[in-house]
């Protein structure tokens, strides 16, 4: 990759890293407020500021303004920003992409320009209109670095190839490598990535919180915002110290929270999750609320909430979406977000970034009524 930016970030500084904002400007502003972001902080936005969310246009505009006012605000390109390259290269497949996307930066721009898009529209027409009206934004997005290197960290959207010289990583792979936490690299620094929702790595209780692998020197921070129904927007915080840096995180998810009215800590052993793309299951034993299942090719038995099980026309079974198969312990007074209270007996909640089931009676009646 050619666009690598080197930065010096001194000891004593605070680095706030987020990624995969996906057009959710409201959540992004809420996250900055939650972490008390100020002009002395270093803010690194690790790709995918647009697409999928409801307001890519305003998100790009706001972040451009932030970066222009404060050189400590840095933005890295992700696979979503790379669409600008496809536009400038007049890739005809981009028309099909635009026609299939409800939430898309280019579609928002075209609507602003009063240009209707249809199957007969050529990519050259789209390019001409967008350059005429949004040349500044296009130039800014095109200029974003693929990676930022500091004294102890490499920030890149998706990952690095396992090369002796990490700088030789192919740019397309740097912005699109899947499941980088399961791979390796040879850079002698922490590599901080987004792109791949961390919940996909979950083994026991599904979690959207950043993952730190100190042995591999990989930090994965994508909370699944706008990609997962129950995802969140993470801020990974690095406090630079004279000795070892300190790590922490915060998140926002836009889901209203409530306080548990009772303790919940059942001893019944339920853990695990069924996550994209492995939705196929084989049911064994159905109970009142959960069914004991196994996924093809795996030995682990999972308790799947009955309402999440679908039978296909061919007689096979699958789950309708990502689903936690875990119970989660809650103490009276804990703040929890209710994700699904439509099922029998149990509600699906999020607590401290982790997702699991609790009995409905531990939640306020007013929450269940809504």
> How confident is the prediction for the chain on average, in pLDDT?
96
Parts of the chain with a pLDDT under 70: 267, 366-370
Q: Are 10 and 148 in contact (CB under 8 A)?
A: no
* Same domain assignment for residues 322 and 248: no
The pLDDT of residue 366:
57
* Same domain assignment for residues 232 and 274: no
* Same domain assignment for residues 197 and 322: no
Kindly compute the dihedral angle of the four CA atoms of residues 185, 225, 353, 288, in this order, to the nearest 10 degrees. Answer: -110
DSSP 99-165: HH-SS-HHHHHHHHTT----TT--HHHHHHHHHHHHHHHHHHHHT--SEEE-SSEEEESS---S-SS
Sign of CA dihedral 265, 268, 271, 274: negative
* Same domain assignment for residues 282 and 222: no
How many distinct structural domains can be found in the chain? 2
* Same domain assignment for residues 293 and 227: no
The pLDDT of residue 357:
97
Model confidence, pTM: 0.94
The pLDDT of residue 276:
86
Measured distance between the N- and C-terminal CA atoms of the chain, rounded to whole angstroms? 51
Residue 96 lies in a domain: no
What per-residue string of b and e applies to 262-288 under the rule 16 or more CB within 10 Å gives b? Answer: eebeeeeebbbbbbeeebebeeeeeee
End residue of a domain, out of 207, 234, 252? 252
The pLDDT of residue 78:
98
The pLDDT of residue 268:
73
* Same domain assignment for residues 227 and 295: no
Structure tokens that stand for 222 in this block? 């994508």
């Amino acid at each position: 990759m050619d666009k690598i930016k080197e930065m010096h970030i001194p000891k004593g500084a605070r680095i706030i890293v987020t990624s995969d904002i996906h057009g959710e400007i409201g959540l992004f502003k809420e996250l900055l407020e939650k972490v008390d972001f100020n002009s002395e902080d270093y803010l690194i936005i690790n790709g995918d500021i647009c697409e999928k969310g409801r307001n890519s246009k305003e998100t790009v505009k706001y972040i451009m303004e932030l970066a222009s006012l404060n050189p400590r605000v840095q933005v890295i390109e992700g696979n979503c920003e790379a669409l600008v390259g496809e536009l400038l290269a007049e890739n005809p497949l981009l028309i099909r992409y635009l026609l299939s996307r409800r939430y898309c930066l280019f579609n928002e721009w075209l609507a602003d320009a009063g240009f209707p898009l249809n199957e007969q529209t050529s990519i050259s027409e789209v390019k001409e209109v967008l350059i005429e009206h949004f040349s500044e934004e296009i130039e800014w997005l095109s200029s974003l670095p693929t990676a930022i290197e500091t004294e102890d960290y490499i920030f890149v959207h998706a990952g690095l190839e396992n090369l002796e010289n990490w700088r030789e990583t192919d740019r397309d792979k740097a912005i699109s490598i899947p499941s980088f936490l399961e791979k390796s690299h040879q850079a002698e620094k922490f590599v901080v990535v987004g792109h791949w929702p961390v919940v996909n790595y979950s083994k026991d209780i599904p979690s959207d919180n950043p993952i730190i692998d100190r042995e591999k020197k990989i930090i994965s921070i994508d909370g699944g915002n706008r990609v997962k129904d129950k995802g969140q927007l993470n801020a990974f915080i690095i406090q630079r110290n004279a000795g070892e840096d300190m790590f922490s995180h915060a998140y926002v998810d836009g889901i209203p929270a409530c306080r548990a009215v009772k303790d919940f800590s059942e001893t019944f052993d339920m853990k695990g999750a069924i996550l994209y793309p492995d939705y196929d299951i084989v049911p064994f034993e159905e109970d009142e609320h959960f069914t004991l299942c196994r996924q093809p090719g795996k030995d682990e038995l999972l308790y799947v909430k009955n309402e999440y099980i679908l039978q296909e026309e061919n007689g096979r079974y699958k789950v309708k979406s990502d689903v936690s198969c875990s119970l989660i312990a809650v103490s009276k007074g804990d703040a929890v977000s209710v994700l699904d209270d439509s099922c029998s007996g149990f509600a699906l909640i999020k607590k401290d970034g982790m997702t699991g089931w609790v009995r409905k009676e531990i939640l306020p009646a007013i929450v269940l009524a809504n």
